[in-house]
Structure 1
Amino acid sequence: MPLTCTPPTDYLASEAFLTLSTHIITAISMPAHVLGLYIILYKTPKAMSSVKNYFVNLHFWILIYDNSLGFLTIPYLSLPCMAGYPLGVLNYTGINEYYMVVLVLGACEYVLISVLAVFENRFDIICDFSWKRYWTKVRKAWLVTHYSIAILIFIPMKSMMPDPEMTLPCLTDEIRAVPVFILTEDYTYHIYALGSQLFTGVLESWVFIYCTILYIIRLLKSKRMSSTTIRLRIKFLTALSFQLAVVTAFMVAPLTYSLYSIMFDYYNQRFQNITIALETMHGLVSTFTMIFIHHPYRMALFEMLPERVRKMLETKNREQRIASSLTTRI
């Protein structure tokens, strides 16, 4: 029995809330995903061509993750027990819940690995350390290894699924009447396997960022590259770092509650449902962050707006610049 137990009795704790909220978010997110993919494929300028395929890869996995969570599975979880049941469309196909878990968590891992790959790409394009020739030989194998391990770690989990009759937290009779899927009773392997993947990815990302910044500083001191080129690279790296920080944070932050629930044996169905709904918004936030943080994508979106709206925005921006200029003079 959990140390803290709040029985699910209100609307926020219900299947209806979780299903409705995820369906609404998915309905809003899908057009945004399509728009983002279109802009990456057809509006990426030549100056950003080196990162285009990496953006496509990242956007693809974000789309898969969001839809696997908010449309295909919609997991009604009963943490801190690693148990629950799906409410999404895959629930009507006869697919085993274990493979639904692999789909959602695997897509989540692939999003994080794709973020790491973007930072590695920047490092590979910008940096020219004396030892980088050794890295060039192994970088493709390094990336393939990351994608492979992200799936291989799920294989042992299948043999760890316990008796489906194990005791679950204080659930309502309605929930107990549903066949509940239990991933594991001892979550030690699951936490360490997934946690080590996250920790390693974050550490590697920081290494690539640090090396890239260090090399840019060297270029500034040596004056081997024009200040304009260096300034543009710094600007793009800053925008890219902010974009990917939002991608990662908006994915990891809601998951932090799930980890808290497991580690401290806390059960609250309301918070768990809200966590799933917020996690489903990850792709929507990530897509618009990408569009608005990069000037070419922002301008591409601006050009798609109706002429009347564009003129209104241009007038508003002009007025803001004039007001800012007057304030500066005063």
Structure 2
Amino acid sequence: MLLEALSSPYTYSTILFIIAGLSFPIHLFGGYCILVKTPEVMKSVKWSLFNVHMWTSFLDLSMSFFAQPFISAPFTGFPMGVLHRIGVETDLLCYVCSVISYLMPVSIIGMFENRFFILFAHKTFWRFARHPFRLIDYLLAILIPLPVYLGTPEQEYARNVTFEQNPGLMLYNIPESPMFVVAIEKTWIRIRHLMLFSKFLIQLLVFVVLIRWNMNKSISEIKSMVSKNTFRMHKSFVRSLNFQVAIPLFIVCIPFMVNVFIPMFSTDLQGTTNLICIIIISMHGVLSTLVMVHLQKAYHVEILRIFGCKTAKIEKNVGGVVATL
């Protein structure tokens, strides 16, 4: 029953608007905590953390509010969101959403790179190489989807070819949002996207491993260079990042798993795709924000204060910054 209802574009759009209304204030609160409540001792990470939060929130809201892609087949579907309703072209929406989906992992890589640089590499060659490295990642995120946008096929012809190959898609060719075909030949698009996501995943794993390895190797040296409280906060912060980042990474991988395994187990592929690929993905930023607020003590104190809850005694360092609960 649920999957059948989710197969309807109108029900699907209504659910996403509800999700957007619930998630927007949570995203705002997460941004407020990062900008205002990040402890002074952790100020070096504030902007990289805010960058991740910003792109994660943009991806959430693009899925649930601005674009609302109704994906009826790989690289085939139509938008139901606000931007489409005010006349923004579908091919432009596809390009912008693709760029945002790439900028999110780039921002996560940047956050871990920032931790690695601050803790272990600020006196090495990496202080010169890090800026070209970051620039290349951002350029790839912006340029890789561009050929798809510029090479969008003539839609009447593309729809006829697609409907011949899969007549069931005609059920979703609604008048107010005609089916949009990103490409007829999809092999090279899949290869490019897979290569880029693999590149981002490898980079992220490299920085996670480097941080973990250097932290274990140099634990005594770091303790002698910084205060015990500062070191404890850095270590706690890195640990919480692992949990916070695991959520969007896992959820972003869901579409790949769905495309491979769901057809084997579900007869209502459209409803399942809407539920898993879009609705759940549109909530991943909220989950990530809630994890961040829960794990970062300074943010946790703030939400308890807002709701009038009593908190444990707050210790302060010399600068008057919240350190422990």
- Normalised by the length of structure 1, the TM-score is 0.82
Q: Which residue identity does 1:47 align to in structure 2?
A: V
Q: SS of the counterpart of 2:84? A: helix
Letter in 2 for 1:176: N
| Deviation of 1:94 (Å) | 2.7
CA drift of 1:79 comes to 1.4
Relative to structure 1, the CA distance from residue 16 to residue 29 in structure 2 (aligned partners, 3 Å threshold; closer, same or farther) is same
Describe the SS at the equivalent of 1:84.
strand
Counterpart in the other structure of 1:146: 137
Residues 121 and 127, structure 2, Cα contact 8 Å, conserved in 1: no
Of the three residues 52, 56, 66, the one matched with 2:50 is 56
- Matching residue of 2:77: 84
1:79–1:267 Cα contact (<8 Å) kept: no
- The equivalent of 2:25 in structure 1 is 31
Quick check: 1:110–1:147 contact (8 Å CA) kept in 2? Answer: yes
Deviation larger for 186-195 or 103-112: 186-195
SS at match of 2:88: coil
The separation in 2 between residues aligned to 1:52 and 1:296, in whole angstroms, is 13
Aligned residue for 1:269?
270
d(CA) in 1 for partners of 2:5, 2:191: 34
Structure 1 unaligned regions, length at least 5: 1-8, 315-330
TM-score by length of 2: 0.83
CA spacing shift, 1:181–1:172, aligned 2, 3 Å: closer
- Taking only aligned residues, the RMSD between alpha carbons, in angstroms, comes to 2.7
How far is 1:269 from its partner?
Answer: 0.7
Distance in 2 (alpha carbons) for counterparts of 1:171 and 1:86: 18
Work out whether residues 72 and 172 of structure 2, in 8 Å CA contact, stay in contact via their aligned partners in 1. no
Cα deviation for residue 195 of structure 1 reads 1.3
1:102 to 2:104 alignment: no
Larger radius of gyration between Structure 1 and Structure 2: 1
Aligned length: 299
Give the superposition deviation at 1:171: 2.6
Task: Pick 1 or 2: higher relative contact order, CA cutoff 8 A, min separation 6.
Answer: 1
Q: How far is 1:166 from its partner?
A: 1.5
Change (3 A) 1:16 1:61: same
Equivalent pair of 1:220/1:230 in contact (CA under 8 Å) = no
Counterparts of 1:29 and 1:151, CA distance in 2: 26
Identity of aligned residues (%): 26
Provide the C-alpha distance between the structure 2 equivalents of 1:236 and 1:73, rounded to a whole number of angstroms: 34
| Pair 258,119 (structure 1): closer, same or farther in 2 beyond 3 Å | same
Unmatched 5+ residue regions in structure 2?
313-325
- Tell me which residue corresponds to 1:187: 186
Are the counterparts in 2 of residues 76 and 273 from structure 1 also a CA contact under 8 Å?
yes
Q: 1:251 corresponds to which letter in structure 2?
A: V
**For residues 232 and 241 of structure 1, do their structure 2 counterparts lie closer, same or farther at Cα, with a shift above 3 Å needed?**
same
Alignment match, 1:176: 173
The answer to whether residue 162 in structure 2 is matched with residue 167 in structure 1 is yes
What is the aligned counterpart of 1:117 among 85, 110, 117?
110
| Matches of 1:92 and 1:232, distance apart in 2 | 47
- Quote how far apart the aligned CAs of 1:182 are: 0.2
Pairwise CA distance, 1:10: 3.0
Task: Report whether the alignment pairs 1:281 with 2:283.
Answer: yes
Aligned residues of 2:67 and 2:83 also touching (Cα < 8 A): yes
What SS class does the counterpart of residue 209 from structure 2 fall into? helix
Distance in 1 (CA, whole Å) between partners of 2:251 and 2:302 is 25
| 3-state SS, counterpart of residue 133 of structure 1 | coil
Asked if the contact 1:39–1:297 (Cα under 8 Å) also holds between the matched residues in 2, the reply is yes
Map residues 170-319 of structure 1 onto 2, 5 A cutoff.
170-171=167-168, 174-178=171-175, 179-220=178-219, 224-225=224-225, 230-258=231-259, 268-275=269-276, 276-305=278-307, 307=308, 310-311=309-310
Instruction: Give the 3 Å change call, closer, same or farther, for CA 248–147 of structure 1 in structure 2.
Output: same
Alignment partners' CA distance in 2, 1:43 and 1:232? 14
